[in-house]
A and B are shown apart, each in its own frame.
Chain A
Amino acid sequence: GAVVSQHPSWVICKSGTSVKIECRSLDFQATTMFWYRQFPKKSLMLMATSNEGSKATYEQGVEKDKFLINHASLTLSTLTVTSAHPEDSSFYICSASRGKYEQYFGPGTRLTVT
């Protein structure tokens, strides 16, 4: 149980275009979903916290107009990278939580902006 999927797993896009990444909890309802990004050989950095039906809470330094988060249901959250640039290239990972305990991570989406 507690499976989280992400789609797509890998995307290459041209600079200036927007990319949408989906995060789904497949077999449970997630009260909260989180978005992280990870640069090569670096740690995961929390970008934002997302609760169903309410606006996402962004960490300091993360542009909310650049990284649009929509939490449409208890099983789906989306991250849209708007007007992507090469410096946005990264590994984006979502996690989903049922409440007080562990967070279950998705397999990640590797974004390359050319």
Chain B
Amino acid sequence: QQPVQSPQAVILREGEDAVINCSSSKALYSVHWYRQKHGEAPVFLMILLKGGEQKGHEKISASFNEKKQQSSLYLTASQLSYSGTYFCGTEKGGGADGLTFGKGTHLIIQP
């Protein structure tokens, strides 16, 4: 089942903060976050694992509430390069499954 992302789109000015949410109706093993620019492949940002472990980007943080099956991505002091479409991908298995992606959140950072 496809996770639900919110908001669908957001426009910010450079330096502002953003939060992107991802929720699932099924129990999750991990949540992966990617950013995709137009015409390019997704770029890995963060992974959050059941049990609290996370690996990712130094300027981007995220949370994973296992009970609520929700994850949030926090972008602070946004830069122009942060523009793109953010996808969360969820995995229900033990670490070797393909990802089910949400529909994406379009983020536009204006100078």
Give the interface of A toward B (CB within 8 A).
Answer: 31-32, 34, 36, 42-46, 48-49, 59, 93, 97, 99-108
Please state if A32 and B96 are interface contacts (CB–CB under 8 Å).
yes
Cα–Cα, bound, A31→B104 (Å): 27
- What are 7 A-to-B residue pairs whose CB atoms are below 8 Å? A43-B102, A45-B101, A59-B98, A102-B32, A105-B42, A105-B43, A108-B41
Give the interface of B toward A (CB within 8 A).
Answer: 2, 32, 34, 40-44, 47, 49, 55, 87, 89, 94-104
Please state if A101 and B41 are interface contacts (CB–CB under 8 Å).
no
Identify which of B32, B40, B96, B98 contacts A108 (C-beta below 8 A). Answer: B40
Residue of B nearest to A57 (CB): B98
- Chain A nearest CB from B20 CB (Å) reads 14
- Chain A nearest CB from B58 CB (Å) reads 15
Cα–Cα, bound, A42→B94 (Å): 27
Cα–Cα, bound, A93→B101 (Å): 13
A101-B47 contact in complex given A93-B42, A107-B41, A108-B41, C-beta closer than 8 Å: yes
Cα–Cα, bound, A42→B55 (Å): 26
Contacts of A103 in B (CB 8 A): 32, 44, 99
Contacts of A104 in B (CB 8 A): 44
